[in-house]
Amino acid sequence: FSVLISVSELRVVLLGNSWSERSSVGNFILGETEFNTEEEADCCQRVRGQLKEKHIVLINTPDLLHYNISEHKLTEHVRNCVSLSNPGPHVFLLVLQPEDFTEEQKLKLCRVLKLFSDQSIDHSLVLISTPREESSVFLENYKHDPLLRDMIRKCEYRFLWQKNLELDELLTRFSQIVKENNGDHVICDVFEDTKSDLTSGLGSLKQGEVDSVRLDPFRAAVAIKSHTPLPVESTTNQSK
């Protein structure tokens, strides 16, 4: 985690095909139950925490891979996620359940990453959820699953198994991604103006005082939770 020394905070976006699994992974990283694993949110959620003397921001997303999500709603969620990860995410953690991961979901996941930026795939790490049946045969089969293998290949073979995963190992992989990208975050240039407009309304909010805020012009409720008290961010901050 020491390679993140030049990064003032690490911003991670959680994507995948199961809200419960994404939320569980988020809680695992934070060491506390911050995301509700039972009830799926209909908006993006942001939680701040501190790990190894470093600030971390996790942004959990609704089910962007759902088969009937509209293009408008998909774009709206991505825009809100961009605003919450201002000035841009460092890592996309793709939490995938192999037994439920379909060809359609794989294509939609690639579409979502593309919506954020052409750079997104270079900042992505696949985390393979523990199968409901944890036999060695099932685990071996998933290693050869064509959809999973293709997604891992697209991410240049950056992947981890959730089974027996240790936090230090996950943070080390985050660090490697940051280092490989020279400490730079993803620049979501498609929504650059939108991001500026949306975050301008958040700059005056004192953390801990507001649980949710409705952002115009998209009128999307965004849940914001403060895990540890930090200074109010300046909307002009261009730090990595």
Q: Which of 21, 1, 175, 178 has the alpha carbon at shortest distance from 88?
A: 178
Q: Please report, as a single letter, which amino acid is at residue 36.
A: N
Q: Which residues contact 230 (CB under 8 A, 6 or more apart)?
A: 48, 55, 207
Backbone angles phi, psi at 195, to 5 degrees: -60, -40
Angstrom CA distances, 227 to 10, 30, 33, 129, stand at: 14, 9, 10, 25
pLDDT of residue 140: 63
Cis peptide preceding 87, ω within 30 of 0: yes
pLDDT of residue 8: 80
Q: H or E segment at 24?
A: helix 19-30
| Two structure tokens written together for 226 | 């403060």
pLDDT of residue 209: 26
pLDDT of residue 181: 93
Cis peptide preceding 217, ω within 30 of 0: yes
The residues that bridge with 59 in the sheet, in sequence order, are 13, 46
Which residues of the chain fall short of a pLDDT of 50? 3, 5, 193-239
pLDDT of residue 197: 43
| Two structure tokens written together for 83 | 């605003």
Sheet with strand 54-60: strands edge to edge: 159-161, 124-128, 91-96, 9-16, 54-60, 45-51, 220-225, 212-215
Is the Cβ–Cβ distance between 60 and 225 less than 8 Å? no
Q: Which residues contact 50 (CB under 8 A, 6 or more apart)?
A: 56, 227, 228
User: Which domains does the chain carry?
Assistant: 2-225 (3.40.50.300)
| Two structure tokens written together for 216 | 């115009």
pLDDT of residue 196: 44
Could you report the per-residue pLDDT of 103-112, keeping only the tens digit for each?
Answer: 999 999 999 9
Question: What's the residue count for the chain?
Answer: 240
